Chain A
């Protein structure tokens, strides 16, 4: 066993988990409060990356680009909510799936029209492109460390927002009993728009942070969206805490599984078999995990109260 590699992959898994959490938090809030299945959440992630790419080109600075992309994403989400999604809240899940599926088609094509079919690369700023020495001479890419720190900070801010502020109180109330909140005279439409904007900003943040380490391309949000679904199903739909725990578990298992499964399998079967089977099995791991958890707890690890 290579301990340095294990540590490095654990950190990578943690970093992937953080990205998943940023997506899952918005998605689970939107579902918990508006009862809306938003397949187009992955498109918000994609828009975050594309906005960041464009703004970085304009300003010649990734930091400025990112700072501009964030409100742009939020605005984009708010417009999307007001124009298209608002009418879907009262509809069946099937209708929501279909309509938001239509939106994915639209956004993918829209991006292809504006930015062209070829993926973009965002160069990292120089201060962040190197690696940092953690301890015992183990080095880790600085930018991935930044993702982890920003992610944890965001999770903490989200926790403060949801559990300590008035708006957070309304969000929690909305998640457990929608009718009651609107009956008490809260402007529920405004609350919906705010929550959606927040979710869009979180997805955009994930997208723009992923942009420099993965390619910015059409459909980049779809693969990660499905993993995000796995995350919120495991965590319990509507629960931010569940999303956080599940995101870290899924991120860890997926990343570490991919790099260590051939070795682990090699202990039991011949190396040839292990090498051919491992890629398939490692991409199945999180789904197997999901199946196991749901077989035991059909409502996920942290089912929200009152649901």
Chain B
């Protein structure tokens, strides 16, 4: 089987991501493991957002709220585990279970109301709900309020693996990312996914065929929230810190940027986007303190000129490659 250039690049990217800790240890720069770990976590967030934004056409501007919920489950859990000695509250499996359940519930609540609306209303309502959760976190003085909570220990996985080792955490992140990509792949190609995608392209048509569009969208919304909640658990463990700023509205904006920058509605687009976003941030902020002065206008240019994002460029590369071979074949004949 011959891989197209796009498939080659994406395969290399995934293999490269899998090998980061080995390379970082090899060149003795553990900093890279942490940087790429952040990329993986935000990739998971972007992949989950892509499920509703890219495949479902629901422009949710409050997706970071689930990152926050997941983070706070870990933050509050370990807080009680350390301060009050309640051991089970430090358990990672319980963190994951509660974070996923709580995010799904929040998604159900937000989605049930927001999905009654369309277009700009939907964008603004999801934003406003995220803001609401943000203020709950800010107002909650017991758990640090505005200043946030420092985690003195990471989630405890009963000796199965030790998260205090950055490499273990990295591979947990990598595993969750691959799992969520697989889930997205299965979902979007299932009957359920076809209804969701069909609704994006023409809602009226799907309704006329007889699909209860609202319910399908709500389920997708809840699944996306649950996956992102899991990313929140990982994020809290990665940064050893939880604060309302994880769900600041600009975080939701960042997730949208990653998804669109990489390629909206494609399987690997969000991963490419998250990696590109954080690499750009890293590079630009190394060059100048005022990096957003360049990043902002770049975003405008990407929106205006590069429809389809980076993955769109790769698709263009594929087409060029194919034409090149066809031409070559024609010349040979």
Contact = CB atoms under 8 A, between A and B. Distances in A.
A153 B184 CA distance: 55
Interface string A89-128: 0010111011101111111111011000000000000000
Contacts of B303: 88, 91, 95, 98-99, 102
Interface residues of A, number: 46
B119 interface: yes
Contacts of B256: 94, 97-98, 101
Contact of A101 (B139, B142, B257): B257
Given A97-B59, A294-B125, A102 B290 contact: no
Contact of B127 (A94, A98, A103, A229): A229
Main secondary structure of the interface of B (DSSP, over half): helix
A106 B116 CA distance: 34
Contact of B292 (A99, A109, A288): A109
Contact of A102 (B61, B128, B129, B298): B298
Interface stretch (B15-23, B130-138, B185-193): B130-138
Interface stretch (A51-59, A185-193, A278-286): A278-286
A37 B295 contact: no
A294 B113 contact: yes
A233 B253 contact: no
B31 interface: no
A298 interface: yes
Q: How large is the interface on B (under 10, 10 to 19, 20 to 34, 35 or more residues)?
A: 35 or more
B106 to A, nearest CB: 13
B96 to A, nearest CB: 26
Contacts of B299: 98-99, 101-102, 105
A232 B117 CA distance: 14
A155 B302 CA distance: 38
Contact of A233 (B116, B124, B295): B124
Nearest to B54: A94
Interface in B231-271: 249-250, 253, 256-257, 260, 264
Interface in A258-307: 276, 279-281, 283-284, 287-288, 290-291, 294-295, 298-300
Contact of B249 (A88, A102, A222): A222
Nearest to A108: B292
B94 interface: no
B162 to A, nearest CB: 36
B26 interface: no
B300 to A, nearest CB: 5
17 contacts: A31-B120, A87-B304, A94-B256, A98-B299, A99-B304, A102-B296, A102-B303, A105-B296, A112-B290, A113-B293, A230-B124, A279-B139, A280-B139, A281-B139, A283-B135, A288-B132, A295-B113
Interface of A: 31, 37, 84, 87-88, 91, 93-95, 97-99, 101-110, 112-113, 222, 226, 229-230, 232-233, 237, 276, 279-281, 283-284, 287-288, 290-291, 294-295, 298-300
Given A222-B250, A279-B141, A283-B139, 17 more contacts: A94-B53, A99-B299, A102-B300, A103-B300, A104-B296, A106-B293, A226-B127, A226-B128, A226-B131, A229-B127, A229-B128, A233-B125, A284-B136, A291-B113, A291-B129, A294-B113, A298-B116
Interface of B: 53, 59, 61, 113, 116-117, 119-121, 123-125, 127-129, 131-132, 135-136, 138-142, 249-250, 253, 256-257, 260, 264, 290-293, 295-300, 302-304
